[in-house]
Chain A
Amino acid sequence: MTHLLEVQDLVVKFGLRSGDLTALNGINFTLNPGERMGLVGESGAGKSVAGFSIINLISRPGFIASGRVLFEGEEISAYPLEQMRGIRGNRISMIFQDPMMTLNPVLTIGTQMVETIQAHNQVSAAHAREIALEKLQKVYISSPGKRLGQYPHELSGGMRQRVVIAISLLTNPSLIIADEPTTALDVTIQAEVMALLLELCKHEHMGLILITHDLGVVSQVTEKIAVMYAGRIVEQGPTTDIVTNPRHPYTKGLIQALPQGGSGRGRLHQIPGMMPNLTSIPPGCAFHPRCEQAMDICRRETPRLFGDAEHSGLVACHLYSQSR
């Protein structure tokens, strides 16, 4: 079976006046059809860059320096712009954090949906409208007919995000990339929208890459997780394993820093320091200055992602390679 998505050694750099900055330093992962994956990390880790570069949406000064992205067997990272247009919004859809990045404030919902459909399919406007209505119903929007005539500002934040999800479904894509889709929403609305996304992915057999910093949401929605730090994947594996039994010190620290992470009363466990600026990534393992268990080798050698027979996941940490 061909993987739905294969990212091989992807390196993305930003060309600034002071030199090239490496935002993504060789990431690898695969996704099977209908599989849901979470890309987790804090700001500056490179997870959004990863999401954008899959569909080659990185604009100058960013560029893909090396590596490949294979979608349904085709190397889309090498596609010219015209061909890429046939993939984006068509077979791979993207959902952004701010619905207003997708929705044009001066066009009605209906206009935008019909436009999207007709951009990828030769159908009449009336037929396109029917498809739009059907998708709005799929996302449980009340009175969909009325909504088609409304403008984005007339809808609430949660509804807008649902419309964005509906738009992403219009072309029956095989993969959805969602970049922090519910971070800006209230807790109850977030639960609704994420539950909806989960249901749709299962029902329509779509793959999902969920980019977020929220470990709670990721654990409820995804089947596997990749944890990113300073442009690299430091741990990846099945969601349940990673959440209940994290191995990499950063993942452990993240989970323990959560108020529900089990520190009980009193002080929260905190990871000292901050994620390094991309201009000054420490040598060796990028996490070593903040790691309580750093060893001498961590300062010199960058650990590679590897797995062993006991665990189904991979981890990039000398603690585990030592014990081999």
Chain B
Amino acid sequence: MTDSKSLVRISNVVKHFDISGGFLDRISFSGGMPALTTTTVKAINDVSLDIAQGEILSVVGESGCGKSTLGRTVLGLYPPTSGEIAFRGQRIDNLSPKEMLPYRRKMQMVFQDPYASLNPRMTVRQILEEPTHFHFPELSGSQVQDKVAEVMRQVGVDPAWAGRFPHEFSGGQRQRISIARALMVDPEFIVADEPISALDVSIQAQILNLIMDCQERFGLTYMFITHDLSVVEHISTRVAVMYLGTLCELADKKSLYGDPQHPYSRALLSAIPKLGAKGFAHIRLKGEVPTPIHLPTGCVFHTRCPFVEERCRREIPKLLTRPNGSQAACHALEEGQI
């Protein structure tokens, strides 16, 4: 089914990284015989998502869930091992760098680390002018300069400081400059990978407001990657919960926070520190998070799930629509047990 409103379509994407190393690293002995082992990090395991135009889709999960990898795969930083990415109906994961160029303009990214995401040896002016010159070669030098000043004002950084280097700015200001860099090329879609996690609480509010302002002003669509669930509740349209490279639940914000379906979503939401609460009443999960190298069989969550049964060990659950409209992948849910 083609959804005409879908801006970005992620279809059955799988991304595995081969970290076996060189020939000599892979040699091992099993049962007395030498063998070659391959080690793969199974970062994304069959994820399908549609991002509609104008929405903020938050992708949440804990470390190792593959959300950052998903963001980068959507933007073409990693080619998917299998599956497809489409932008406005056009498949983009198999394009050559040249063919990809017009899409690069429309899809941008804001990163987590304000200190590493700006080149320390370039001035702010150079950082902002470079993408503009590259994507809009027809603009004159002074037009580009004007645009730089205008965008800097929009993100709240004084244009008079354009000649300074990144290390002269605070974390919050650097993040604003990163956002400015993304905005310079008039994008339609922005992947924001934990854009405020590295900032102080009072600065987080400022940057979050800026991100929301930009969405309204420029009609942007966001894929907002984060682990901070209270932020997600505030800004998202829809939320995707991921665990070990698999989509557990996909729901609109109210449904997820009001009536979480998947056992992992429930545990995650119960663990959010609450202002004014005393003590801890969170759902306890058994065991530790497995590594993406040795993925559990069947449902990836089964090793820690309070409702695990035999079927969960064998069969990977499909994403099914629940009565409240959310989609969740869980056998117990399907069987009506929880």
- The residues of A with any CB-CB pair to B shorter than 8 Å are 42-43, 142, 156-159, 186-192, 194-195, 198, 213-217, 219-220, 240, 243-244, 253-255, 257-261, 265, 267-271, 274-275
Assess the A188–B271 pair: CB atoms within 8 A: yes
| Listed A/B pairs (30) with beta-carbon separation below 8 Å | A42-B200, A186-B62, A187-B62, A188-B285, A189-B62, A190-B273, A191-B271, A191-B282, A194-B280, A213-B200, A213-B201, A216-B273, A219-B274, A220-B278, A220-B279, A240-B278, A243-B276, A254-B201, A259-B234, A260-B233, A260-B274, A260-B275, A267-B213, A270-B202, A270-B205, A271-B205, A274-B172, A274-B202, A274-B203, A275-B202
Q: Say if the beta carbon of B288 comes within 8 Å of chain A.
A: yes
**Using a CB-CB cutoff of 8 Å, which residues 99-152 of chain B contact chain A?**
none
A275 to B187, CA, bound (A): 33
7 cross-chain pairs, A with B, having the tightest CB-CB distances, nearest first: A216-B273, A186-B62, A259-B234, A257-B205, A195-B280, A191-B271, A42-B200
Q: Say if the beta carbon of B289 comes within 8 Å of chain A.
A: yes
A257 to B233, CA, bound (A): 14
Q: Say if the beta carbon of B204 comes within 8 Å of chain A.
A: yes
Contacts of B230 in A (CB 8 A): 216, 258-260
Contacts of B278 in A (CB 8 A): 219-220, 240
A198 to B281, CA, bound (A): 13
Contact of A259 among B63, B213, B231 (CB under 8 A): B231
- Asked, given contacts A255-B275, A258-B275, A260-B274, whether A198 binds B201 with beta carbons under 8 Å apart, the answer is no
Assess the A261–B280 pair: CB atoms within 8 A: no
Contacts of A219 in B (CB 8 A): 273-278
Assess the A261–B271 pair: CB atoms within 8 A: no
User: Shortest distance in angstroms between A113's beta carbon and chain B's nearest beta carbon?
Assistant: 20
Contacts of A255 in B (CB 8 A): 275
Interface of A is mostly: helix
- Asked, given contacts A186-B227, A195-B280, whether A220 binds B274 with beta carbons under 8 Å apart, the answer is yes
User: Shortest distance in angstroms between B20's beta carbon and chain A's nearest beta carbon?
Assistant: 19
A243 to B208, CA, bound (A): 23
Assess the A270–B201 pair: CB atoms within 8 A: no
Contacts of A240 in B (CB 8 A): 276, 278
Contacts of B308 in A (CB 8 A): none
- Most chain-B CB neighbours within 10 Å: which of A240, A259, A267? A259
Assess the A275–B275 pair: CB atoms within 8 A: no
A190 to B282, CA, bound (A): 11
**Using a CB-CB cutoff of 8 Å, which residues 246-300 of chain B contact chain A?**
267-268, 270-280, 282, 284-285, 287-289
Contacts of B272 in A (CB 8 A): 187, 216, 260
Assess the A220–B231 pair: CB atoms within 8 A: no
Assess the A253–B280 pair: CB atoms within 8 A: no
A254 to B284, CA, bound (A): 29
Closest to B284 in A: A192
- Asked, given contacts A188-B267, A258-B230, whether A220 binds B200 with beta carbons under 8 Å apart, the answer is no
Contact of B208 among A190, A198, A214, A268 (CB under 8 A): A268
Assess the A267–B206 pair: CB atoms within 8 A: no
User: Shortest distance in angstroms between A257's beta carbon and chain B's nearest beta carbon?
Assistant: 4
Contacts of B235 in A (CB 8 A): 259
A156 to B235, CA, bound (A): 31
A254 to B229, CA, bound (A): 18
- Asked, given contacts A216-B273, A267-B212, whether A275 binds B200 with beta carbons under 8 Å apart, the answer is yes
Contacts of B213 in A (CB 8 A): 267
Q: How many residues of B contact A (CB 8 A)?
A: 41
- Most chain-A CB neighbours within 10 Å: which of B209, B229, B273? B273
Contacts of A215 in B (CB 8 A): 201, 275
Contacts of A43 in B (CB 8 A): 200
**Using a CB-CB cutoff of 8 Å, which residues 176-231 of chain B contact chain A?**
200-206, 208-209, 212-213, 227, 229-231
Contacts of A254 in B (CB 8 A): 201-202
Contacts of B212 in A (CB 8 A): 267
User: Shortest distance in angstroms between A318's beta carbon and chain B's nearest beta carbon?
Assistant: 21
Assess the A186–B63 pair: CB atoms within 8 A: yes
Closest to A262 in B: B275
Q: Other CB < 8 Å A-B pairs besides A187-B62, A265-B234, 11 of them? A: A42-B200, A186-B289, A187-B268, A187-B272, A189-B289, A213-B200, A216-B274, A219-B273, A243-B275, A258-B205, A267-B209
Contacts of B201 in A (CB 8 A): 42, 213, 215, 254, 257-258
Assess the B202–A188 pair: CB atoms within 8 A: no
Contacts of B28 in A (CB 8 A): none
A58 to B201, CA, bound (A): 26
Closest to B274 in A: A216
Q: Say if the beta carbon of B170 comes within 8 Å of chain A.
A: yes
Assess the B273–A217 pair: CB atoms within 8 A: yes
A11 to B251, CA, bound (A): 52
Contacts of A189 in B (CB 8 A): 62, 289
A198 to B63, CA, bound (A): 24
- Asked, given contacts A259-B230, A259-B234, A268-B209, whether A188 binds B273 with beta carbons under 8 Å apart, the answer is no
- Asked, given contacts A198-B280, A216-B275, whether A188 binds B62 with beta carbons under 8 Å apart, the answer is yes
A274 to B205, CA, bound (A): 12
A170 to B148, CA, bound (A): 58
User: Shortest distance in angstroms between A320's beta carbon and chain B's nearest beta carbon?
Assistant: 22
- Most chain-A CB neighbours within 10 Å: which of B234, B235, B272, B285? B234
Closest to B234 in A: A259
- Asked, given contacts A220-B278, A271-B205, whether A187 binds B200 with beta carbons under 8 Å apart, the answer is no
Closest to B62 in A: A186
Contact of B204 among A243, A257, A267, A275 (CB under 8 A): A257
Contacts of A214 in B (CB 8 A): 273
A195 to B271, CA, bound (A): 11
Assess the B275–A42 pair: CB atoms within 8 A: no
A217 to B203, CA, bound (A): 19
Closest to B278 in A: A220
User: Shortest distance in angstroms between B326's beta carbon and chain A's nearest beta carbon?
Assistant: 20
Contact of B271 among A159, A190, A198, A270 (CB under 8 A): A190
Contacts of A187 in B (CB 8 A): 62, 227, 229, 268, 271-272
